[in-house]
Structure 1
């Protein structure tokens, strides 16, 4: 089976490409570095030739409202035109748990637009909404750092290992489209303060992590369960302890 992975050179994309190739599939790792640009459309028709499945894990180059909106609009238009011409039978998109509850952010409004474009494309689809990755905890800490203090929201987060996200996408790739959204989360929820403290400590980072009711998540106010999946999500196997034990992590 031929699978095109849009964003195939990134964190999730590279892991997914490796898994699919190990499974014997013909995989195109599509990214600007391989001559495929979803914003301009360059290289897309050639990449899509004889493809059965397309997995889109590409992300906007910026969290800026206008940049993200323009990226997902242009990419969606070009990807779906190329998929329609190639008669692709399954489009898979990676999104974020809580996207529809984070609409104070222009970036998440753009992610919701991306999901809407998928649903309206006419191509059979599966949207995988994942919780944030363990690998992003350093970036989250960095975004809320003032001096040597990290101010975290009081909310819960249920992060997942990037390897488990890639494995789930690989499994979805060889199954029939569900024409719906599926959620994926890590094995257990944490308070932001707890998990960020543990990850920083594992990296010998001495910043002080405190709970702050006014702290935001990348500039967005969140409630306790904004980032927690709904009923019956897929639960990934990798625990925080297992991830820490095998990861050379560097906090931002």
Structure 2
């Protein structure tokens, strides 16, 4: 089986390639580093030659709504027709939990990408992940006001990128879902509580301010909007384990 992983140099992409190879699959990493640009189409047709499964784990360079919408609209507009022309039998896209409930920001961009995937003639799967520990770590470092870090009290089940990559690889070698698989972590926190724990582990003295109006990925989520359904696949890595492994 020839699986092309697009966006292979990112946190999820590099781990997905490794997990696919653990399955004995011919995993082909594709990214700008390999001469392929999904926004221009450069090198795409050659990279997809002979492909059976396309795993799309590309990511926008910004979480801002306009920039992320533009990126995924352009990338999907290049990738899906090229994959269809190459004869791909399965197209898997990585998305985020909450795309069907959070109406703005990065979530809107991922919802539009999902729509394009569903409308494509290629059999498809969508894997939606809850916030990565790494995303919360980045949030704790960047969302800063004069009085501290403002974070919404939304409920989350944060997940490790290793657990997401394992789920993506498993779904990629299986039959197309024609639907959504949600992946989440084993523990539930409030996002503000989780951010405070990550800050403490980092030795960061800044305070966390609970702010119901604080955006996450460019949108303000309701309390339960970032939680997966009851049938989500749960990863194994706890917060303490992830902190110890860094």
Q: TM-score range by the shorter chain?
A: over 0.9
Q: Deviations over 1:74-128 (max 9, x none)?
A: 21122111111211111000000001222232x3222111000000001011100
Deviation at 1:220, TM superposition (A): 2.2
Large movers: runs of 4+ above 6 Å: none
Deviation at 1:229, TM superposition (A): 0.8
SS in 2 for 1:50: coil
Q: Which residue pairs with 2:174 in the alignment?
A: 175
Structure 2: where are the runs of 5+ without partners? Answer: none
Distance (Å, rounded) in 1 between the aligned partners of 2:33 and 2:23: 24
Deviates more, 1:125-134 or 1:35-44: 35-44
Q: Which residue pairs with 2:96 in the alignment?
A: 96
Structural RMSD (CA): 1.5
**TM-score between both structures, scaled by the size of structure 2:** 0.94
Number of matched pairs: 246
**TM-score between both structures, scaled by the size of structure 1:** 0.92
Distance (Å, rounded) in 1 between the aligned partners of 2:222 and 2:143: 17
Deviation at 1:231, TM superposition (A): 2.6
Conserved? CA contact 2:63–2:218, under 8 Å:
no
CA 1:164/1:228 → structure 2, altered by over 3 Å: closer, same or farther?
A: same
Q: Which residue pairs with 2:83 in the alignment?
A: 83
Distance (Å, rounded) in 2 between the aligned partners of 1:219 and 1:25: 37
Q: Which aligned pairs between 1:187-206 and structure 2 lie closer than 5 A?
A: 187-206=186-205
Distance (Å, rounded) in 1 between the aligned partners of 2:67 and 2:104: 16
SS in 1 for 2:100: helix
Q: Which residue pairs with 2:36 in the alignment?
A: 36
Deviation at 1:219, TM superposition (A): 4.2
Distance (Å, rounded) in 2 between the aligned partners of 1:64 and 1:198: 26
Structure 1: where are the runs of 5+ without partners? Answer: 248-252
Q: Which aligned pairs between 1:1-252 and structure 2 lie closer than 5 A?
A: 1-105=1-105, 107-147=106-146, 149-247=148-246
Deviates more, 1:219-228 or 1:6-15: 219-228
